[in-house]
Amino acid sequence: MRKAIFITGGGSGIGRATAQLFASRGWFVGLGDVSEAGMAETARLIGGDPFTARMDVRDRTQWRDALQRFVTASGGRLDVLFNNAGVAQGGAFEAMSEDETDRVLDINLRGVIHGAEAGLPHLKATPGSALVNTCSAAGLYAGTGMSIYCVTKFGVRALTDSLDAEWQEAHGVKVRSIMPSFIDTPLLSGATADSNQSMRERVVEMGLEFTPVEKVAEAVWEAVHGRKRHVVVGKTAKRLAFIMRWAPGLVSRIRPKAAE
């Protein structure tokens, strides 16, 4: 029986690249997204018989329904749940509206928690299973103009640490995160809260690199099959991880220069 992976945010970006990679290696793929058009395009690129579910990760009922239907379609398996759906919103803290703040928190953090809640019964029932969460380099260091986004990614990192310790011992389920640098996906198209400049333009202005989604997909594969709890991807993320481990005081001197 084929192994099975369910991917939120499967209609574009990291989710699409991961779906293509796992499908190419013989896995049964499930896609969850708010965009039916995006999932249809991913399904076309994959070919075969991917499962799709239009869902909002902020809704616990939609989570439970989507996973139950996916597990039925997969023959009872959930080898990997990839908690990937997210939004990017930057800008000065005081410039963000209450709705913008709530949206980032609800999708990027609460949505991941909801996925863990809904996924655990199915992961426990599948030997050797894994929960993989999309974190970020923003879960390593909280830079300026990204306060709420960083809150969510630090939260995802903490959740990953805690659940991996709990679930491996209690249920035999490993929990992993991927921590990529900036990815040139549709998430970066939106303007920051304090200007008309997009997140993509801000990254370019800071002189930071974009990590190809294909590399991030490979990192998901590594997370599933390797022993590292957090898989760091891309030059910026790896540089931050190194500095935060060996010389954390240097980060505050380096990041502001990049933004000048």
Distance CA 155, CA 202 (A): 24
Amino acid identity for residue 72 in this structure: T
Distance CA 180, CA 111 (A): 19
Please check whether residue 256 is in contact with residue 187, taking contact to mean a CB–CB distance below 8 angstroms.
no
- CA nearest neighbour of 85 among 139, 12, 151, 30: 12
For the CA atoms of 104, 114, 143, 251, what is the dihedral angle to 10 degrees? -170
Q: Is 149 assigned a catalytic role? A: yes
Q: What are phi and psi of 46, to 5 degrees?
A: -75, -45
Strand partners, 230: 177
The DSSP 8-state label assigned to residue 208 in this structure reads: P
Distance CA 71, CA 67 (A): 6
For the record, the structure tokens of 217 come out as: 């997909």
> From the candidates 22, 63, 141, 149, which is the catalytic residue?
149
Rounded to the nearest angstrom, the gap between the alpha carbon of residue 150 and the centroid of all alpha carbons in its chain is: 13
Residue numbers annotated as active site: 149
